Structure 1
Amino acid sequence: MKNVHSGIDHLDFLLVIEAVLAHRTITRAAQALDVSQSALSHTLTRLRERLGDPLFVRVGGEMQPTPLVARLADPIGRSLRIIRDEVLSAPEFDPATTTRVYNICVGEVGAFVIVPRVVRLLRERAPHARVVVLDLARHEIGSALEDGRLDVVIGYYPELKTSIYQQLLFTRTFVGIVRDDNPHIGQRLTLRQLRSVSIVRSPGTNAINRWLDSKLSGADRADIVMEMPYVMALAPILAETDWMGIVTEELVPAFRKLAPLRPVDLPTDLPRISVRQHWHRRFKDDVPNRFIRQVVYDAINKP
């Protein structure tokens, strides 16, 4: 027998064999498959050539299976039942009823600023869906998107490879933040003035940290008085000192609710950071994934 895999559509193979077995004539099998009789005959001819077997032999007014088809009848039936019951009949995605759990990766700032807005909109559009927020190491994110452990990642990740798709959500700028009655820092700082300011720095603001290191180095390096791994912890620390933190502008309202703080304008050549949501190309057309991406985008960009 010839190679079964050489240029034949396996689903066509299954459907044609099933239809002729069930109806025993080319005419009735073609009607059941909603194709022309000539099209079915052509497909059957191709199958005979590929498999090196007549498959069906006319006996009286019916097409009777050869021993090869008789042996294949049961596994063909099982295969098609699986396809119909578990693949073709899979329920469509319905936001109103889905219980899907979405895994979203954000950093600390994103969890504070973005996630509440996403959750609020998700509850409106998909009330039974849930969000799990993860904070993976940067080197794990690409593989987690690829294998489906993460649905989307939100933040600044320029290192992600080309197999990751992305969408711009907004652009961040940075500001200084100090206590309201700080006597040493005014409303605006020049680069020269920045050299004399005591700064509390957080790894959560990597872009501004790199900028500080490049602009203020050597004898003129920035006066970093504390390294604080938790961005939100800056608020009470700054409220009790004459130090300054540097945060993204969208955090200022939240910080002012936590402590009596005010923003400070910084030099105009500060970096601007593009915050994007990222997903793997495997899930580009996946309906549930497209849904959560739209929720994220609308939560950020629509009032």
Structure 2
Amino acid sequence: MNLADMDLNLLVVFHHLLRERRVSRVAQTLGLSQPAVSNALRRLRALLGDELFLRTPGGMEPTPYAQQLAAPLSQALDTLRDALNVRASFDPPTSTRCFTVAMSDVGETYFLPVLMDALARHSPGVTLRCVSVADPALREDMAQGRVDLALGSLPQLQAGFFQQALFRQPYLALMRQGHPLARRKQISAAQYRQAGHVRVIAAGTGHGRVDRALDQLGVTRQVQLTVSHYAALGHVLGSTNLLATVPERFAQRVTGPFQLLTRPLALPLPTSTIAQLWHAHLHRDPGHQWLRALVARHFGSEADFPAVEAASPP
């Protein structure tokens, strides 16, 4: 077909219908009426000679032809958006932009107090919206622009995304100040085995490497409690003789409020590298560049990690 016959706005509607699968949601996202979205779909059907979307109880399901168009059209729109945004301005003191950032509960504990203080002082109109790194749709959400930035140890995003390592941290034993092992300067392998433990399974992060390392070392813990996140550790450890193996930066945030302390481990556990990751379509966006610079300035260790790694093939 002749591109001169195509209205770019129709392709934008098509792109959002692929994501939302409902006319009402697309209308709300684009600031249009539902009849306007339906009319755009009718025009597009006529131009392309295909139904494109079929109504089902679960929403608008794309036809095989629509699915075939999805990837190249999305790439084309991303390219066009990048080209138009190259010279877009971003003024931090006056901006009211909302950035969506993916992080774990550890990340929220460590990053958010500093970031929110920095925004309040220098960019009071900028807001953050946090989502979980454990969301199975995170890769797609970042590729589609629904999530701007991800922070953490995130092996599922190593391929296909730009990344900048921020800092490296060891794992420590975290316990209450009156714990029987609190008098020790270091926790030996034997003491570690004999202690009662809280085990954290942090889905969507790389912290599972601790469990794998312990298995390889043949170190079996006496796990008395297993939790899916770090949020409850302060309360649990503060009132029991359990200990937890946690990343150093998380420990820094909770030792004071919960009267806890840390001890190094006489075990060769791996360190954790925390990075910020983003999709290529935001790489040159001025607002996004500002946000990444803000994160790097407050949390990065330029001596250890000076460069941004280019996006590798997915």
Bin for the TM-score computed over the shorter chain: 0.5 to 0.7
8 A contact 1:187–1:263 mirrored in 2: no
Q: Per-residue deviation at 1:240?
A: 1.9
Give the corresponding residue for 2:119. Answer: 122
Q: Which structure 2 segments of 5+ residues have no match?
A: 4-83, 302-314
8 A contact 1:213–1:222 mirrored in 2: no
Give the corresponding residue for 2:246. Answer: 247
Work out which of the residue numbers 196, 212, 215 in structure 1 matches 2:214. 212
- Aligned identity (percent) is 22
**Which secondary structure state, in structure 1, belongs to the residue aligned with residue 187 of structure 2?**
coil
Q: Against the structure 1 CA distance between its residues 146 and 248, is the aligned structure 2 distance closer, same or farther, given a 3 Å change threshold?
A: same
Give the corresponding residue for 2:151. Answer: 154
Distance 2:188 2:245 in 1: 14
8 A contact 1:184–1:242 mirrored in 2: no
* Residue deviations 1:78-137 (CA, integer Å, cap 9, x gap): xxxxxxxxx79x963222221111000110011011122122223333221111111143
Distance 1:92 1:281 in 2: 19
**Which secondary structure state, in structure 2, belongs to the residue aligned with residue 251 of structure 1?**
helix
Distance 1:174 1:300 in 2: 18
Distance 2:126 2:153 in 1: 26
Matched, 1:203 2:201: yes
AA of the residue aligned to 1:215:
L
Compute the RMSD of aligned alpha carbons. Answer: 2.5
Alignment of structure 1 residues 248-263 onto 2, 5 Å? 248-263=247-262
8 A contact 1:107–1:135 mirrored in 2: yes
Q: Per-residue deviation at 1:255?
A: 2.1
Distance 1:249 1:230 in 2: 16
Q: Per-residue deviation at 1:144?
A: 1.2
Distance 2:258 2:116 in 1: 26
8 A contact 2:161–2:278 mirrored in 1: yes
AA of the residue aligned to 1:209:
D
Distance 1:91 1:283 in 2: 12
Name the TM-score, length of structure 1 as normaliser: 0.65
**Which secondary structure state, in structure 1, belongs to the residue aligned with residue 128 of structure 2?**
strand
Q: Per-residue deviation at 1:4?
A: 7.7
Larger radius of gyration: 1
Q: Against the structure 1 CA distance between its residues 214 and 130, is the aligned structure 2 distance closer, same or farther, given a 3 Å change threshold?
A: same
* Residue deviations 1:30-83 (CA, integer Å, cap 9, x gap): xxxxxxxxxxxxxxxxxxxxxxxxxxxxxxxxxxxxxxxxxxxxxxxxxxxxxx
Q: Against the structure 1 CA distance between its residues 234 and 269, is the aligned structure 2 distance closer, same or farther, given a 3 Å change threshold?
A: same
Give the corresponding residue for 1:192. Answer: 190
Q: Per-residue deviation at 1:270?
A: 1.2
Q: Which structure 1 segments of 5+ residues have no match?
A: 6-86
Distance 2:105 2:226 in 1: 16
Distance 1:163 1:239 in 2: 41
Name the TM-score, length of structure 2 as normaliser: 0.62
Q: Per-residue deviation at 1:161?
A: 4.7
Query: Which structure's relative contact order is higher, taking Cα pairs within 8 Å and 6+ residues apart?
Result: 2
Give the corresponding residue for 1:177. Answer: 174
